[in-house]
């Protein structure tokens, strides 16, 4: 795989930055694609741009604000509160979002001659978004190959990891400090440790705590 080119679906957050480091070890050439879907905080895209620049990979932003014509959700509308509902979908959920984004990433990958697609989706921690599941990703891979007469290979290095496992992987990739200090996961647009109270921050810090405990043993 070291000879080949990959596109990483990239947001500047902990997960996709871990995937970017992973891809840089696997592939000769790595490109990133970021989606502008009218995030509450443009800081997210700026953070992604800075990381891509620093790691020397190309950075492409695709305008996906059209998904806001389809549904209202808490990631893009300031007047909707970010909530976690037991058993239900969180208010950050946009139906089909990963499906759409990933399909656009594949079209971009083909345009730049990349066969490998890398995404940080995971079945473990993520509120049950159906288009984060392994079976969906595999199914879409088949569909994309049929749709585009292509031979895409989709990689999901985080699929079976919990947040502590993602921290562990970043450590194995010698990227632990970088990811801790430079990525943005927080729904309130604050880099590194974030606001500490939103669901994304809680998930990130719980995972970190768990991993650090494990690392000390």
Minimum CB separation from Zn ion for residue 180, in Å?
15
Minimum CB separation from Zn ion for residue 177, in Å?
20
CB nearer Zn ion, residue 92 or residue 141: 92
CB nearer Zn ion, residue 143 or residue 205: 205
Name every residue whose Cβ is closer than 8 Å to that of residue 56 and which is 6 or more positions away in sequence: none
Minimum CB separation from Zn ion for residue 191, in Å?
10
Q: What sections of 27-175 are H helices per DSSP? A: 43-55, 97-111, 134-148, 163-172
CB nearer Zn ion, residue 91 or residue 110: 91
Contact 152, 9 (CB under 8 A): no
| β-bridge mates for residue 160, sequence order | none
Minimum CB separation from Zn ion for residue 195, in Å?
3
Minimum CB separation from Zn ion for residue 187, in Å?
5
- Continuous segment of H or E residues that includes residue 63: strand 58-63
Name every residue whose Cβ is closer than 8 Å to that of residue 93 and which is 6 or more positions away in sequence: 73, 127, 129
Q: What is the 3-state secondary structure (H, E, C) of 150-164?
A: CCCEEECCCCCCCHH
| β-bridge mates for residue 31, sequence order | 7, 58
CB nearer Zn ion, residue 72 or residue 197: 197
Of 1, 59, 57, residue with least CA distance to 28: 1
CB nearer Zn ion, residue 68 or residue 188: 188
CB nearer Zn ion, residue 144 or residue 184: 184
Minimum CB separation from Zn ion for residue 82, in Å?
9
Residues at the contact surface with Zn ion, assessed by CB under 5 A: 186, 188, 194-195, 198, 201
């Amino acid at each position: 795989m070291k000879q080949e080119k990959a596109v990483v679906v990239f947001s500047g957050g902990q997960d996709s930055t871990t995937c970017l480091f992973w891809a840089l070890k696997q592939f000769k050439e790595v490109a990133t694609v970021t989606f502008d879907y009218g995030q509450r905080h443009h800081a997210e895209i700026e953070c992604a741009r800075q990381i891509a620049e620093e790691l020397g990979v190309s950075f492409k932003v695709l305008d996906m604000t059209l998904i806001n014509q389809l549904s209202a959700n808490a990631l893009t509308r300031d007047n909707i509160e970010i909530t976690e509902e037991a058993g239900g979908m969180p208010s950050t959920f946009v139906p089909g979002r990963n499906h759409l984004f990933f399909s656009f990433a594949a079209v971009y990958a083909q345009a730049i001659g990349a066969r490998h697609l890398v995404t940080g989706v995971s079945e473990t921690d993520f509120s049950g978004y159906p288009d984060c599941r392994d079976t969906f990703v595999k199914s879409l891979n088949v569909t994309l190959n049929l749709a585009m007469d292509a031979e895409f290979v989709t990689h999901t290095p985080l699929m079976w990891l919990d947040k502590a496992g993602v921290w562990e992987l970043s450590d194995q990739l010698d990227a632990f400090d970088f990811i801790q200090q430079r990525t943005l996961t927080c729904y309130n647009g604050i880099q590194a440790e974030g606001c500490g109270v939103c669901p994304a921050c809680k998930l990130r810090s719980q995972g970190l705590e768990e991993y650090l405990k494990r690392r000390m043993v």
